């Protein structure tokens, strides 16, 4: 680390008079402005155009355009196709247009103004106008405007939790540090942008501004990261690609078959192409993207009621498939509030049922504090060092009112003495109360060796358990003493041990997560002893697991870390780049990683992970904007609920895809087999279903029940299963064959209905095919939604599904029997006999699925 004199020479600064106006301009030109650079945003028009890059969308657009060119009279179907494409594009744009605001949030954290020495005068300027080499002054309550090296300071403490993750303010000094390779948390002679002073004051020279600051480096990391597709998006894109290739191939085959049947007459070209377009519409599940989006939205609504706000819809499913949660400690696993948990006078005990002397000690500790807890305008205000606030909290719970004590003299704490002393007047005596580091207070006491040794042993025991320990000693005077008489010949009274305690509900949540096959990893800026103690208490650090510091991590190669990442459960004293590296190491092992956090230092890792979960109460704006999900109650257990919901949603989406694709396969087979039979002269059939019929079924009949499937509640046993492998295909475990078989059945009954009706007229054949296909799919939705029999009352608990069935069936009847609408679809209003035939054929799928479910239940039992 460079020495202060080297910085002074490098920046051409005068430590007393500051920079001149000319030097300010020169340094701004050389080192840049104190502003964060924004990542170039994609224009809205380009985002809209990119919505049409999906192969399935391109196929539909080409089909619509060419269809009008080939036969201008068929413009209605082309318009409907284009409307469908536009609706899907608008929905996609709405989701993607939620612009990233991480850098804007970082800017909000920057100090608005600061005090700086320029031209030998102390002035206040906008923080954005600071330059490298400026001499700044900060004091308690100030936000630090840029990275700086301390020139001189008094009792300086800085809250750096948002940047380093350390739970208590850091004591600062102006001593030189020889080592260049140390963590941020150990740079005691440096100040960092967007942290703030809790105690004391300082004079410092600005060493970095804007993108050169530590927070600027985080901004750069955020800008450099590209948004990665979630596993669900990747799988659905794969499905879309496969469907697109198959659709094109089948369209070409059907077109050729139609032309063969017509002996390649040019007059048949138009009809053959229209059949091919109908097939393209049949093959492509137009409602799939919309259905998946709405199913995810339903999950988002459910989760918002469970205190989890999801910013990116696919994140719901992704969290359900995660197998590693990398969690920040401070404020996430712990309460981010120092709390006294142990008290020592003659023995170490919990702060319950205190004796009179122990109550008096607690009150003396609270009197000897500069912090305050007050209620102003109905709002509780807590000001001061978290350690002292913890002493006030325990006194409020167990001690006496400190406002009754008259403080007549104070000697403030400083890092050299490691002591603070307050003198109070009590009756006709003066009592000097000294609190501070245990070794200092005990060594200054006049107690017996036995008392001192017992106290030192108690201090060691509490420190080993990661407690922050303070000691108390007193003196009594008949007169008001002067400062020189204090802090010696003390009567040692006792010790208090405090820690930022674990959230009480987190331990059980980690148990549930472990049972569900999810590993929880602690990543913190705190010391390894403190982190390990909390991790053991919560069940994160178990037998055989390892804890490691940032410096030790630095010595490991990326290859070694990736190979051995499973061995580590605690990472302490980490820097922002370490967090990203840890996430990447897990990802190299094909893990789906969730990262929780609340600080600026968590933002890059939140964005890098498959899903980032920021804390809503204690979280910084930066972490919230970088994350995919915000936990409004800052409760780790909310993540477990989200995992359960995510797993249920993924299951529902698979059911939706199965339902929609089996329907589409049925539609394709109906048209393909009809063309095949005609081409080979087996039976002369027309087109069983027109493109308009298929669009209606795909968008109306299919979509409503699909939404109902998406509303199914997650099974209670879903958290007893292990997470899905990242490599597991969307159609794993024979799912694709089930879809194909169901599609064959749907296509078979639809074609049979068409052949029966076609014997009388083509219009009746298409009407019967339409009714049979739509009704089969409505019944099939109940088959797909649950493993229960359709005869079970459980199958009808989903009210939206029941509503969708009634509305869907009613719409089919309206289309077939309402004059005007019927003519548009070119339907023939069938009699009751043909209607009954269609209903009978529609129930074939239900019978087959019920037999299949019965066999599966017997196998399972």
Catalytic residues: 328
Strands in 419-426's sheet, in edge-to-edge order, are 348-349, 339-344, 491-499, 468-477, 429-436, 419-426, 406-414
Gap between the Cα atoms of 492 and 443, Å rounded: 9
Closest CA to 393 of 533, 499, 471: 499
The tokens describing 22, both together, are: 């000319």
Residue pair 695/767 in contact (Cβ under 8 Å)? The answer is no
The tokens describing 23, both together, are: 């030097």
Rounded to 10°, the helix 844-860/735-758 angle is: 160
| Cα→Cα distances 661→234, 343, 474, 786, 808, Å | 17, 66, 80, 17, 18
Distance spanning both ends of the chain, measured CA to CA: 69
Gap between the Cα atoms of 408 and 391, Å rounded: 20
Residue pair 466/530 in contact (Cβ under 8 Å)? The answer is yes
Gap between the Cα atoms of 55 and 52, Å rounded: 8
**Can you tell me whether residue 400 is helix, strand or coil?**
coil
Place of tokens 């000691």: 471
| Cα→Cα distances 351→168, 359, 361, 393, Å | 22, 10, 12, 12
Residue pair 492/447 in contact (Cβ under 8 Å)? The answer is yes
The tokens describing 317, both together, are: 């499913």
Strand 593-597 vs strand 611-615: parallel, antiparallel, or unpaired?
Answer: parallel
Q: Is the dihedral of CA 459, 465, 469, 474 positive or negative?
A: negative
Gap between the Cα atoms of 274 and 252, Å rounded: 12
Q: Extract long-range pairs of 712-718: CB within 8 Å, 24+ residues apart.
A: 712/648, 712/652, 712/655, 712/785, 712/786, 712/798, 713/648, 714/644, 714/645, 714/647, 714/648, 714/649, 714/651, 715/648, 715/651, 718/644, 718/647, 718/648, 718/651
Gap between the Cα atoms of 651 and 712, Å rounded: 9
- DSSP state at residue 413: E
Residue 480 half-sphere exposure toward CB, CA atoms < 13 A = 7
Gap between the Cα atoms of 608 and 593, Å rounded: 9
Residue pair 652/724 in contact (Cβ under 8 Å)? The answer is no
């Amino acid at each position: 680390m460079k020495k202060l004199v080297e910085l002074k020479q490098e920046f051409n600064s005068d430590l007393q008079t500051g920079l001149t106006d000319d030097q300010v301009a020169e340094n701004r030109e050389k080192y840049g402005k104190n502003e964060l650079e924004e990542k170039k945003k994609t224009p809205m028009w380009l985002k809209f155009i990119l919505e049409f890059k999906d192969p399935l969308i391109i196929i539909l657009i080409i089909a619509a355009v060419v269809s009008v060119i080939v036969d201008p009279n068929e413009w209605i179907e082309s318009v409907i196709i284009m409307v469908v494409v536009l609706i899907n594009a608008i929905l996609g744009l709405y989701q993607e247009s939620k612009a990233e605001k991480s850098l804007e949030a970082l800017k909000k954290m920057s100090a608005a103004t600061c005090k700086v020495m320029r031209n030998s005068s102390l002035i206040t300027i906008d923080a954005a106008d600071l330059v490298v080499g400026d001499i700044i002054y900060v004091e308690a309550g100030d936000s630090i405007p840029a990275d700086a090296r301390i020139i001189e300071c008094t009792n300086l403490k800085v809250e750096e939790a948002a940047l380093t993750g350390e739970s208590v303010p850091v004591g600062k000094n102006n001593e030189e540090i020889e080592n260049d390779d140390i963590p941020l948390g150990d740079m005691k002679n440096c100040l960092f942008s967007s942290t703030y002073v809790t105690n004391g004051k300082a004079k410092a020279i600005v060493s970095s501004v804007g993108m050169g600051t530590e927070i600027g480096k985080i901004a750069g990391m955020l800008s450099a990261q590209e948004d990665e597709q979630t596993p669900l998006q990747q799988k659905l894109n794969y499905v879309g690609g496969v469907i697109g290739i198959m659709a094109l191939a089948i369209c070409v085959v059907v077109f050729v078959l139609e032309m063969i049947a017509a002996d390649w007459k040019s007059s048949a070209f138009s009809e053959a192409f229209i059949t091919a377009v109908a097939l393209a519409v049949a093959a492509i599940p137009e409602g799939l993207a919309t259905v998946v989006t709405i199913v995810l939205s339903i999950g988002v609504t459910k989760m918002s009621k469970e205190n989890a706000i999801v910013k990116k819809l696919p994140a719901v499913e992704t969290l359900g498939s995660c197998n590693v949660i990398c969690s920040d400690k401070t404020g996430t696993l712990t309460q981010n509030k120092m709390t006294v948990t142990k008290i020592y006078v003659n023995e170490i005990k919990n702060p319950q049922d205190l004796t009179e002397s122990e109550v008096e000690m607690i009150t003396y500790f609270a009197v000897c504090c500069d912090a305050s807890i007050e209620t102003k305008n109905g709002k509780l205000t807590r000001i001061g060092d978290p350690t002292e606030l913890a002493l006030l909290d325990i006194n409020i719970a167990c001690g006496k009112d400190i406002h009754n004590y008259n403080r007549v003299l104070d000697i403030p704490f400083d890092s050299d003495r490691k002591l603070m002393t307050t003198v109070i007047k009590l009756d006709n005596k003066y009592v000097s109360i000294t609190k501070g580091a245990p070794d200092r207070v005990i060594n200054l006491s006049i107690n017996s060796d036995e008392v001192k040794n017992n106290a030192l042993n108690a201090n060691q025991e509490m420190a080993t358990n990661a407690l922050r320990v303070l000691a108390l000693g007193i003196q009594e005077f008949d007169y008001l003493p002067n400062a020189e008489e204090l802090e010696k010949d003390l009567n040692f009274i006792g010790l208090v041990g405090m820690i930022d305690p674990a959230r009480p509900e987190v331990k059980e949540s980690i148990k549930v997560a472990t049972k569900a096959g999810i590993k929880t990893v602690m990543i913190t800026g705190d010391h390894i002893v403190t982190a390990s103690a909390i991790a053991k208490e919560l069940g994160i650090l178990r037998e055989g697991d390892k804890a490691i510091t940032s410096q030790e991590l630095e010595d490991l190669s990326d290859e070694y870390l990736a190979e051995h990442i499973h061995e580590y459960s605690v990472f302490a004293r980490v820097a922002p780049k370490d967090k990203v590296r840890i996430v990447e190491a897990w990802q190299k092992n094909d893990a789906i990683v969730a990262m929780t956090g609340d600080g600026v230092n968590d933002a890059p890792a939140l964005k890098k992970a498959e899903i980032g979960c920021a804390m809503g109460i204690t979280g910084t704006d930066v972490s919230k904007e970088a994350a995919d999900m915000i936990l409004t109650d800052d409760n780790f257990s909310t993540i477990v609920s989200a995992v359960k919901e995510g797993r249920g949603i993924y299951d529902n989406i698979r059911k939706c895809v199965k339902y929609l694709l089996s329907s589409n396969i049925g539609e394709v087979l109906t048209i393909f087999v009809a063309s095949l039979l005609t081409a080979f002269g087996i039976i002369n059939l027309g087109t069983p279903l027109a493109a308009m019929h298929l669009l209606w079924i795909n968008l109306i009949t299919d979509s409503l029940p699909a939404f109902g499937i998406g509303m199914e509640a997650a099974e209670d046993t879903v958290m007893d299963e292990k997470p899905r492998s990242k490599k597991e295909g969307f159609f794993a475990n024979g799912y694709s064959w089930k879809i194909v078989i169901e599609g064959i059945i749907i296509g078979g009954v639809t074609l049979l209905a068409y052949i029966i009706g076609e014997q009388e007229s083509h219009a009746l054949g298409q009407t019967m095919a339409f009714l049979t296909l739509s009704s089969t799919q409505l019944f099939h939705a109940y088959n797909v939604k649950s493993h229960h029999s359709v005869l079970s009352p459980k199958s009808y608990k989903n009210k939206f599904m029941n509503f969708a069935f009634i509305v869907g069936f009613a719409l089919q009847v309206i289309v077939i029997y309402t004059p005007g609408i019927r003519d548009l679809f070119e339907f023939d209003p069938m009699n009751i006999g043909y209607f009954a035939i269609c209903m009978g054929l529609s129930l074939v799928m239900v019978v087959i699925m019920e037999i299949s479910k019965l066999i599966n239940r017997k196998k399972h039992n």
